[in-house]
Amino acid sequence: MKRIIFLLGTALISFSSCYFNMSSSGSIQLETTKDSMDIVLKNVREIVEGLNHNDIKKEITEKFKDFDKNSINNINIGYTKFWSAGGGDNKATVIIRVNISSSDFEKSREVIDFYEGFIIPELKKNGYIPREQ
C-alpha cells in the first residue's frame, strides 16, 4: 500500500481579515502571524478533534461501502504549524492534513473530498473567508 497524504488548506490570517486559499490539489493552508497563532490553533484543534470522531468515520463507512474498512479506521486528521525563526519575520503557517493509507488513489481522493465538505464550512463558521483566485 502506498501512503497518500493530502494537505488540506492555507488561509491568510491577519488582525483585520482571515482568508484561506485552496490549491488545485485541494490543499488548504492557513497563514497567520506568530502573534495570532494561539487563536488559529484553537480553531484548528477543534476542527481536527471533531473530524477524528468515530461518528464521522461511521458516516464515511456508510457512504463508501466498497472502500477498505481498515483504511477508513486508520484515517488520521492532524495539523502542523510552522513559523520563521528570524527576528524580523512574523509569519506563521498552520496546515490541516488528512492521512489515508490505501492503494486505491481515486477512492482516497473521494474520501478526502468528503472530509473537505466538513472542513470548509467549519473554517467559514470560524470567520475564515475564501480568497478569490
CATH number assigned to the domain comprising residue 60: 3.30.70
The predicted structure's pLDDT at residue 22: 59
- 34-62: average pLDDT: 82
More confident residue, 13 or 94: 94
DSSP state of 127: T
Q: Which helix (H) or strand (E) holds 95?
A: strand 91-101
Closest CA to 50 of 101, 98, 119: 119
Report residue 66 CA to chain centroid gap: 24
Q: Which one is predicted more confidently, 32 or 60?
A: 60
Higher pLDDT, 67 or 54: 67
Domain ranges, residue 87: 3-130
pTM as predicted: 0.69
Q: How far apart are the first and last CA of the chain?
A: 35
Structural domain tally of the chain? 1
The set of cell numbers assigned to 26 is 485541494
